[in-house]
Structure 1
């Protein structure tokens, strides 16, 4: 352990646990002013004080003496612009992202992983200009050679392109999803407490941000940015040519409930996509939307048998560690966090057995091999 206290670590730990400065001060037996001065680098605490802080925040002492890896700038993050997104939630997400970035870096150091291959739109068209969401989605599909066929497993596709997918379903459930690039590596956090269909849409939505709203084309948060990401997700999951060839005019509720399985999307999303492509009138769209809402499809996908997509990369990681007689505790020691913090980053993305083994839900699309 280094003997150099890192004030940024206190900021991270406090926000990950959701502690106000005054709350931490009370728990650690110091004043709120003292906590503020330590966090701002104006005072250097004794090891005894740091031990009290570590106990209050439930972090290993070593966490506070570990250098912080380089982090993305604040404007690199793509958060949903919703009324539920408080400053506390955002600060917690940014701090947790730092731990996820360190986990991602450790994975890269320990295993051979797919290189980052999710381009920004200016790389797709070799020009410093934006594209309409529909055209951006088509360009990415063409770049990846996907054609217009439905995507069987979006999560594992993105992992095969070098993305890291983590769970926001532990301490930050108030956030739907968010994304950023850590150096060249795309990172996406998902709130896993949703239907499988809506998780796929959230993934595609964040992919839209990564492709359209980064680098020199970075745009400030707002409704237009979120609408563009929604339109990208809709076009990427339900390509125009495939929808036009599969959906008949005169669409009925029964058709929506059958056809949504083709693209593994929500009934609401398919109804909107069909309308945007001119396959239904505004009256028909509104009628089906009301019918779906009455049947509970506005908040979920009743009677859906679609299994949520799992992480091939994280599953392989846990399986390999288990084969070595290791597990979450060993990863936590590397990161100087709790084993539960590591589990939270994988919650809902890996199926854990009672003994902690990861179970793969299907063929791997992301190669992970020990170095």
Structure 2
């Protein structure tokens, strides 16, 4: 263990636990200005105070002495936020992202994970030309050899392209989804407390950000960029040719409820896509939207039996650990965090089991391939 206190770790731990400087100071027996000065490298806390910080924040002591190899740049995030988003939620998201990057690095060092292959638009078309979101979605489908068929499991498709998918459903629930690039690796966080259909749309939305907007943000943050990502997601999940070939005549509510299963999307999303590609009129779209809203489809997917997509990559990591008599605590020890912090990153993406106290043999170099 290093003997040098890392101020960024204190700020990171406080953000993950969603404690204010005042809250931490009161619980650790110091003052809020002192906490702020420690985080800004103006003062170095004593070993005794660092131990108090570790106790109050429930992090291993070594966490506060662990160097931070990399943090995502402030302008690299694509937040898909609710109106409740606050600065503290953004701080939590950035801190969780740093932890996710460290977990990703551990996975890369321990296993043979898929090579990142989610291109930015300029690399995808080998040009600086501007494409519409629908054109960008079609170009990516072409590059990945997907044709116009529905995508059965989007999460596992993205993992097969080297993306890392994590859960924001633990300490962070005010943000719908967000994404960024860790070097060449795309990282996507999902709020897993949603219907399976809406989780798929969130994934496609973040894929749109990663492809069209990259880490340098070619568009200003705001409604225009969010709408572009929505249009990309709709086009990527429901290609125009497939929609035109699958919908015959005018749509009724019963048709929407049947057809949404084909593309595994929400009823509202399918209604909007059908209108956008011109297979239903403005009047039909508005009528169906009202009917769907009255039936509860604006907030969820009543009666849906679609299962949420799981992470093949993380499931294989967990299975490998269990096979060796290990578990989340072993990853946590490698990252100097608690087992709950690792579990929170996988919440809703992996099926957990009760861990036993089996012997712990040496680590394997398992080859992981998302299917």
If the TM-score is normalised by the length of the shorter chain, which range does it land in? over 0.9
Residue 180 of structure 2: aligned partner: 180
Deviation at 1:128, TM superposition (A): 2.0
Deviation digits for residues 223-262 of structure 1 (CA, Å, limit 9, x no counterpart):
0100000000000000000000001231111110000000
Matched, 1:112 2:132: no
Is the contact between residue 311 and residue 349 of structure 1 (CA under 8 Å) also seen in structure 2? Answer: yes
User: In the aligned structure 2, how far is the partner of 1:202 from the partner of 1:172?
Assistant: 16
Residue 360 of structure 2: aligned partner: none
User: In the aligned structure 2, how far is the partner of 1:301 from the partner of 1:266?
Assistant: 7
Is the contact between residue 327 and residue 355 of structure 2 (CA under 8 Å) also seen in structure 1? Answer: no
User: In the aligned structure 2, how far is the partner of 1:152 from the partner of 1:28?
Assistant: 50
Deviation digits for residues 105-125 of structure 1 (CA, Å, limit 9, x no counterpart):
000000000000000000111
Deviation digits for residues 110-158 of structure 1 (CA, Å, limit 9, x no counterpart):
0000000000000111112331000000000000000000000000000
Matched, 1:134 2:134: yes
Residue 268 of structure 2: aligned partner: 268
Residue 363 of structure 1: aligned partner: none
Q: How does 1:293-308 map to 2 (within 5 A)?
A: 293-308=293-308
Deviation at 1:219, TM superposition (A): 2.0
Gapped regions of structure 1 (runs ≥ 5) = 357-366
Q: 1:217 to 1:22 in 2, by over 3 A?
A: closer
Which shifted more, 217-226 or 129-138?
Answer: 217-226
Q: TM-score, normalised by structure 1?
A: 0.95
Residue 158 of structure 1: aligned partner: 158
Residue 223 of structure 2: aligned partner: 223
Matched, 1:312 2:305: no
Tell me how many residue pairs correspond in the alignment: 359
Deviation at 1:31, TM superposition (A): 1.1
Q: TM-score, normalised by structure 2?
A: 0.95
Is the contact between residue 75 and residue 216 of structure 2 (CA under 8 Å) also seen in structure 1? Answer: no
Deviation at 1:216, TM superposition (A): 5.3
User: In the aligned structure 2, how far is the partner of 1:218 from the partner of 1:46?
Assistant: 45
Deviation at 1:215, TM superposition (A): 4.7
Secondary structure of 2:175's aligned partner: coil
User: In the aligned structure 2, how far is the partner of 1:216 from the partner of 1:20?
Assistant: 30
Q: How does 1:309-348 map to 2 (within 5 A)?
A: 309-348=309-348
Is the contact between residue 310 and residue 349 of structure 1 (CA under 8 Å) also seen in structure 2? Answer: yes
User: In the aligned structure 1, how far is the partner of 2:324 from the partner of 2:178?
Assistant: 33
Q: How does 1:1-371 map to 2 (within 5 A)?
A: 1-215=1-215, 218-355=218-355, 368=368
Q: After the TM superposition, which segments of 4 or more aligned residues of structure 1 sit over 4 Å from their partners?
A: none
Is the contact between residue 130 and residue 217 of structure 1 (CA under 8 Å) also seen in structure 2? Answer: no
In angstroms, what is the RMSD of aligned CA positions? 1.1
Gapped regions of structure 2 (runs ≥ 5) = 357-366
Which shifted more, 318-327 or 216-225?
Answer: 216-225
Secondary structure of 2:186's aligned partner: strand
User: In the aligned structure 2, how far is the partner of 1:129 from the partner of 1:8?
Assistant: 40
Secondary structure of 1:68's aligned partner: coil
